[in-house]
Structure 1
């Protein structure tokens, strides 16, 4: 017996297939929960006002997509360390997100509510 995989004919690019898994509704949830978790964490934190966490600005869907693209890129292009993609080396150069912003987004990345 052969199983049939129902892939829409409009899926032709890698992004089309990615979008089947990570659609706009899911991105909206991740953006909302990440921003909420960041605000919650910062409010309850005792860190210094100068810390990177305190510099948090809410993200939007476009910025989250860029961060996910960088994470996927890390899986494809081997890098010796996390700083390399933000170096001046043209092979690794990343002009999407500043490094500290990227790390901050990863720190607060949240997929669901903490409240039950």
Structure 2
């Protein structure tokens, strides 16, 4: 069956630079939110607390878009070149001269890291409120990024829906333990992606179990957590009733009745590529 939808990049061509493409993956709207909320949080902290004599906050100056872009670039670099402490990236030792000093001073980087924010804490709905969201502090920036990913590229007929564990050892009620994952402790992330290129069209963090109402009839029949997460992700990614083949790692006859013309393909990840090649 022919797939009658556009597939591939919608706004990028071979003439676009890597920076232009990255600027659409992490859109300017998201950067502007981070700039505004980081400056606001820094002001709130300096106004409401007694700073120590040697606190770096005394040297704080408001950030702009260039500061945040450089900061994110350094964080990405640190993810590829891993050292046990931040100070080592600015070390004077010739063996560790990574050029960081010419990009951003260490104290400036650490100050931004201390005040980095994506939302206004003073506006956060409290637990029990109808709009309470465990991801409130990052939700707006996450939504801006996901919308940008979907605007930049159209998905192929075959897409993969699966979970990933982002390693995390800090304190949060959203942390899960999964002994079958490379990272045993971390945040569970559900995503829809192209199983060939790996391009992600939808991404969300699992925040915990909740009672979910049947999305079709809004009656008292409840879907399982995984069923709901799959249906919700496909709806937000605009893939319901669009003839997609959705690769799943679990059988779901119940879910099939909710997803319109989508076809559920319950296969192991390692044979997904072969299946796609044989049906394309």
By the TM > 0.5 criterion, same fold?
yes
Alignment of 1:76-87 (within 5 A): 76-87=80-91
Structure 1 window deviating more from structure 2 (58-67 vs 81-90): it is 81-90
Q: Which has the higher helix share?
A: 1
Aligned 8 A contact 2:12 2:21 in 1: no
Alignment of 1:55-70 (within 5 A): 55-70=59-74
Q: What is the aligned residue count?
A: 116
- Map Cα deviations across residues 25-76 of structure 1 (whole Å, 9 max, x no partner): 2111110110000010111112224411222110111111111110000011
Q: Could you tell me how far apart the structure 2 residues matched to 1:109 and 1:7 are?
A: 32
Alignment of 1:1-116 (within 5 A): 4-10=7-13, 12-88=16-92, 89=94, 91-94=97-100, 95-116=102-123
Shift of 1:91: 4.2
Aligned 8 A contact 2:32 2:65 in 1: yes
Aligned 8 A contact 2:38 2:115 in 1: yes
Structure (1 or 2) with the larger CA radius of gyration: 2
Q: Could you tell me how far apart the structure 1 residues matched to 2:29 and 2:82 are?
A: 31
Shift of 1:115: 2.7
Q: Could you tell me how far apart the structure 1 residues matched to 2:68 and 2:117 are?
A: 11
Aligned 8 A contact 1:87 1:93 in 2: no
* Equivalent position SS for 1:41: helix
- Map Cα deviations across residues 75-95 of structure 1 (whole Å, 9 max, x no partner): 112224211211233642311
* Equivalent position SS for 1:69: helix
Q: Could you tell me how far apart the structure 2 residues matched to 1:48 and 1:83 are?
A: 21
Q: Which has the higher strand share?
A: 2
Aligned 8 A contact 1:86 1:99 in 2: yes
